[in-house]
Amino acid sequence: MIQFNRVTKRYSSMARPAVDGLSLDVREGETCVFVGPSGCGKTTTLKMINRIFEPTAGEIFVNGENVLTQDQDQLRQGIGYVIQKTGLFPHYTVFENVATVPRLLKWEEGRVAARVRELLELVGLDPDENMQKFPRELSGGQSQRVGVARAMAADPPVMLMDEPFGAVDPITRTQLQNEFLTLQQKVRKTICFVTHDIDEAIKMGDRIAIMNHGQLVQYDTPENLLLAPADDFVAEFIGSDRSLKVLSLLPVRKVLKRQFRMVSETAELSTVRASFDASERNRLVVEDERGNLVGYVSRSDMDKAGSARGWNRFIKPFPAFLPPEATLRDALAVMLQHDIGAVPVMEGRRRFMGMIYLDDIRSYVGEAYQERDSDSSTQEGA
Amino acid sequence: MNWERLLDVVREEGLQLVVQHLELVGISLFIAIIVALPVGILVTRFPLDRYAPQILAFLNTAQGVPSLAVVAIFLPIMGIGRVPSLFALTIYALLPIARNTIAGIEGVDPDVMEAARGMGMSPRRVLLRIELPLALPVIIAGIQTSAVLTVGTATLAHLIAGGGLGRLIFSGISMHRPEYIIAGSLMTAALAILIDQVIGLIHRWISARYSG
C-alpha cells in the first residue's frame, strides 16, 4: 500500500542524510510503527509520504501511485494526518474542525454533518455535547480524539500519525491507545505511526520499523523483534526487559481461563470444602445463581468457618478487574499492585468472561521462548 | 488666561477642526491599512518569509523616527497642503500595521499550520481561513496603535498647511494664547482616547471570537 523505494533525504544543514536509502513496504490494513532514538529519521520518513518534506532521492508510492507526481493538495486530502499537538484550528468549532477535509472536497452540507456525527461517535465523543465547543474547551484526550476524527473525516485509506499520543498524560494515553486499537479493528486503515516509545510501538504495531541514523535497522512483527532482535542496537533499544514486553503482545482475552472451579454463593460449606480439597488453589471464585461474579473465598477462611451456613460472610470482592483487551502485562501489573494471584476479566461492567492466573502468564512467556528456540533450530537444520 | 475665551474657541472652531482632523486620520489610516496589510502578508510568504525577522526588526526601529522628522522630510519633496500631510501621516501609520500583520501571522501556532497544509488546504486557503483570522487580533491591535499615533501626529499637519487641531495649538503658541493651546491639546487627547476605546472594543470582540 505504501512503498519506499531507496528514499534518501538530505538537509543542507546536516552532514549525514536524515533518511538514508530507505526501502520498505507497508501492507494494506496494517499499522507500521516507525520507532527509534530522536534524530533517527522516523518523523522525516513519515512526512515524506504526504510531502511535508520532499525526498532528495528515491520514490514513494501510495496505492501504486508515485506521490511526487501527484498534486500536493489532492494527495494530502486523501491521506489522514494526525500530529502530536493535534493542530486543531482554535477558531473553528469541533464540528468545523472535523468537517475540514469533507468541505475541501466540496461534499454537500447534509453529508458533512452526518459524517461529523458518525466520526465523533466513533472516537467516543458525544456529538451533541461537543460539536459546538471550541478546542480550548476540550481536555488533552478529547482534543486528540477530535484530531483523529478530523484525520479520518473523508475516510482516507492511509493515515499518518506523528506521535499522536505523545502529549497526553500516561492514563489518557493508555486509554487512547486501547480505543485506537479497537477502532483500527473496525476500520482497518493502512497506518504509519511514529513514536519514540518502544512500548507503544509494540502495543500498536502490526509491524515495527526500527531506525537509527537514518537507516532501517529491522522491520518485523513485534513478536519477532522481541524474540529475535537483529543486532545489539535493536536489543538495547528494546531494553533488557524484553521478556516482560512479550507480555504486552497478548490480550488477556486470548489467555484467560473460561473453565475453572467455581462455587455458588448458595452452596453448603461442605461443598465448598470439597471443592478446596479437589483443587490445588488456595482461593476459589464465587458466583451467584445466574453466573455473575461475586468474589472469592480463601482456604484458610473456610477452615475457620464453623457452621454450615454463613460461610459466605468470608466472601471478599476482587480488588480489581481487567477488560478483555488489556494485555498480559497489564494483568501482571494489577496482580503485583494488589498482591493477588488471579484477576477476573470483565466485559463492560457486568459480563464475567473468565480468570487470568499468574501461572498462566508465566507459562505463556516460557512457551514463547521455547517455540522460538525450536523454530530457529529447525531452520538451521534445514 | 481667559476661560470664557477658551469655550468660545471650542464653540467657534472646534467642530470644524475636529472634522478636519478626523479626515486626516481616517484617510491616512485607511490608506495605511490597504497598503500595510498586503505588504505584511507578502513579507510572510515565500521567498521573503526568510527575512521576516529582519524586516520586523527594521520596522520596530523605524517606528523610533520622530513624527516631526517624517513631516519635515516630505516638505521639500512634496511641498505644503493637504496631500503632503496625508502622505506623511500615511507613511507614519504604515509601520505599526505592517509590523503587527507580520508578527500576527508569524505567531500562528506552527502545529496549526502544519495540520492545515497536511490536510491539503491550498496556501491561499490557509492564508484566508487560518492565518488571517488567527492573526486578526494582533493586526487590529496594530491598527489601534497606529490610529492613536496618527491622531497625535496629525496635529503637525498644520505646520505644512494641512489643517486639523494642530492649528489651535500652534496659533496659541505663536500668539501667546494658552487657551488655544489647551483647547487644541484637550480635543486631540479626547479624540485619541475615544478612537482607542472604539478600536479596543472591536479588538476585544474579535479576540473573543478568534482566540486560541
Give the distance from residue A125's alpha carbon to the nearest chain B alpha carbon, in angstroms: 21
Same domain, A219 and A330: no
Q: H or E stretch including A295? A: strand A293-298
User: Sorting pLDDT into bands at 50, 70 and 90, what band is A309?
Assistant: low
For residue A159, list its beta bridge partners. Answer: A80, A191
B136-188 pLDDT, tens digit per residue, is 999 999 999 999 999 999 999 888 888 889 888 998 899 888 888 888 999 99
Query: Which among A76, A87, A136 is the nearest to B112, CB-wise?
Result: A87
Q: Does residue A311 carry a pLDDT above 90?
A: no
Which of A181, A216, A239 corresponds to the end of one domain? A239
User: Sorting pLDDT into bands at 50, 70 and 90, what band is A382?
Assistant: very low
- Interacting residues of B162 by C-beta distance below 8 A, sequence separation 6+: B24, B80, B81, B82, B84, B85, B86, B154
User: Sorting pLDDT into bands at 50, 70 and 90, what band is A45?
Assistant: very high
CATH of the domain at A291: 3.10.580.10
Tell me the three cell numbers of residue A22.
530507505
Q: How far apart are CA A41 and CA A218, in angstroms?
A: 14
Pair A264, A289: CB distance under 8 Å? yes
Dihedral (CA of A133, A168, A182, A344) sign? negative
The answer to whether position A368 is within a domain reads no
**Do B111 and A77 count as a contact with CB atoms less than 8 A apart?**
no
**Do B209 and A135 count as a contact with CB atoms less than 8 A apart?**
no
| B 26-55 residues with CB < 8 A to A | none
B16-55 pLDDT, tens digit per residue, is 899 999 999 999 999 999 999 999 999 999 888 888 888 8
Predicted confidence at residue A211, as pLDDT, reads 95
Amino acid code (one letter) for A320: A
**Do B120 and A77 count as a contact with CB atoms less than 8 A apart?**
yes
The SS3 assignment for B164 reads: coil
Q: Does residue B9 carry a pLDDT above 50?
A: yes
Same domain, A158 and A230: yes
Pair A238, A229: CB distance under 8 Å? yes
CATH of the domain at A69: 3.40.50.300
Q: How far apart are CA A260 and CA A287, in angstroms?
A: 12
Question: How many domains are there within chain A?
Answer: 2
A154-196 pLDDT, tens digit per residue, is 999 999 999 999 888 888 888 889 889 889 988 899 999 999 9
Average pLDDT, chain B: 89
Distances (CA, A) of A381 to A265, A367, A375, B167: 56, 21, 10, 105
Q: How far apart are CA B30 and CA B146, in angstroms?
A: 11
Rounded mean pLDDT, A19-39: 94
User: Sorting pLDDT into bands at 50, 70 and 90, what band is A373?
Assistant: low
Rounded mean pLDDT, A253-259: 79
The answer to whether position A329 is within a domain reads yes
The β-bridge relationship of strands A342-347 and A293-298 is: unpaired
Distances (CA, A) of A283 to A56, A74, A268, A291, A297: 64, 62, 17, 18, 6
Tell me the three cell numbers of residue A150.
478530523
On the question of a cis peptide bond just before residue B123, with omega within 30 degrees of 0, the verdict is no
Same domain, A225 and A291: no
Which chain B residue lies closest to A152 (C-alpha atoms)? B119
Same domain, A221 and A283: no
Closest C-alpha among B15, B3, B13 to residue B179: B3
Dihedral (CA of B14, B15, B20, B25) sign? positive
**Do B117 and A52 count as a contact with CB atoms less than 8 A apart?**
yes
Express as a percent the part of chain A with pLDDT over 70: 95
Rounded mean pLDDT, A82-104: 94
Q: Does residue A307 carry a pLDDT above 70?
A: no
Closest C-alpha among A162, A91, A100 to residue B109: A91
Q: Does residue B212 carry a pLDDT above 50?
A: no
Amino acid code (one letter) for B123: P
The answer to whether position A372 is within a domain reads no
Which of A186, A205, A239 corresponds to the end of one domain? A239
The answer to whether position A328 is within a domain reads yes
Please work out, in degrees rounded to the nearest 5, the angle formed at the alpha carbon of residue B121 by the alpha carbons of B118 and B122. 120
**Optimal mutation site among A43, A52, A96, A100, interface B, most CBs of chain B within 10 A:** A100
* H runs (alpha helix) in A246-357: 252-255, 269-278, 299-304, 328-338
Q: Rounded to 5 degrees, what are φ and ψ at B133? A: -60, -40
Q: Does residue A381 carry a pLDDT above 50?
A: no
Pair B121, B177: CB distance under 8 Å? no
Q: How far apart are CA B162 and CA B181, in angstroms?
A: 18
**How many cross-chain Cβ pairs, A to B, lie less than 8 Å apart?**
69
Cα torsion through A13, A162, A25, A373, rounded to 10: 110
Q: Does residue A31 carry a pLDDT above 50?
A: yes
**Optimal mutation site among A47, A51, A81, interface B, most CBs of chain B within 10 A:** A81
Rounded mean pLDDT, A14-29: 93
Q: Does residue A136 carry a pLDDT above 50?
A: yes
Q: What is the largest CA-CA distance in chain A?
A: 84
A48-82 pLDDT, tens digit per residue, is 999 999 999 999 999 999 999 999 999 999 999 99
A281-295 pLDDT, tens digit per residue, is 888 888 888 878 888
**Do B212 and A135 count as a contact with CB atoms less than 8 A apart?**
yes
Neighbours of B175 (CB within 10 A): 10
User: Sorting pLDDT into bands at 50, 70 and 90, what band is B1?
Assistant: low
Rounded mean pLDDT, A357-374: 73
Q: Does residue A259 carry a pLDDT above 80?
A: no
Rounded mean pLDDT, B3-15: 79
Please work out, in degrees rounded to the nearest 5, the angle formed at the alpha carbon of residue A167 by the alpha carbons of A161 and A168. 110
Q: Which position has the grid cell 461537543?
A: A130
Q: How far apart are CA B102 and CA B79, in angstroms?
A: 33
Same domain, A188 and A261: no
Q: Is A54's Cβ below 8 Å from some Cβ in B?
A: no
Q: How far apart are CA A119 and CA A140, in angstroms?
A: 18
Predicted confidence at residue A80, as pLDDT, reads 95
Predicted confidence at residue A18, as pLDDT, reads 93
Same domain, A198 and A318: no
- Interacting residues of A372 by C-beta distance below 8 A, sequence separation 6+: A227, A228
DSSP state string for B106-123:
HTS-HHHHHHHHHTT--H
The answer to whether position A367 is within a domain reads no
Pair A354, A345: CB distance under 8 Å? yes
B66-111 pLDDT, tens digit per residue, is 888 888 888 888 888 888 889 989 988 999 999 999 999 999 999 9
Predicted confidence at residue B178, as pLDDT, reads 87
Domain that holds residue A188: 2-239
Predicted confidence at residue A364, as pLDDT, reads 76
Rounded mean pLDDT, A39-43: 92
Pair A4, A60: CB distance under 8 Å? yes
The ranges assigned to domains in chain B are 3-210
Predicted confidence at residue A76, as pLDDT, reads 96
Closest C-alpha among A192, A246, A239 to residue A219: A192
Predicted confidence at residue B79, as pLDDT, reads 85
Q: Which fold has domain B3-210?
A: MetI-like fold (1.10.3720)
Please work out, in degrees rounded to the nearest 5, the angle formed at the alpha carbon of residue A64 by the alpha carbons of A63 and A67. 85
Predicted confidence at residue A379, as pLDDT, reads 45
| B 181-210 residues with CB < 8 A to A | 209-210
Same domain, A216 and A291: no
The β-bridge relationship of strands A31-35 and A190-195 is: parallel
Give the distance from residue A264's alpha carbon to the nearest chain B alpha carbon, in angstroms: 57
Same domain, A223 and A312: no
Average pLDDT, chain A: 88
Q: Does residue A378 carry a pLDDT above 60?
A: no
B101-147 pLDDT, tens digit per residue, is 999 999 999 999 999 999 999 999 999 999 999 999 999 999 999 99
Which chain A residue lies closest to B124 (C-alpha atoms)? A73
The SS3 assignment for A162 reads: strand
The answer to whether position A380 is within a domain reads no
Q: How far apart are CA A47 and CA B136, in angstroms?
A: 30
The answer to whether position A373 is within a domain reads no
Same domain, A215 and A285: no
A109-135 pLDDT, tens digit per residue, is 999 999 999 999 999 999 999 999 999
Q: H or E stretch including A219? A: strand A215-220
Q: How far apart are CA A36 and CA B88, in angstroms?
A: 59
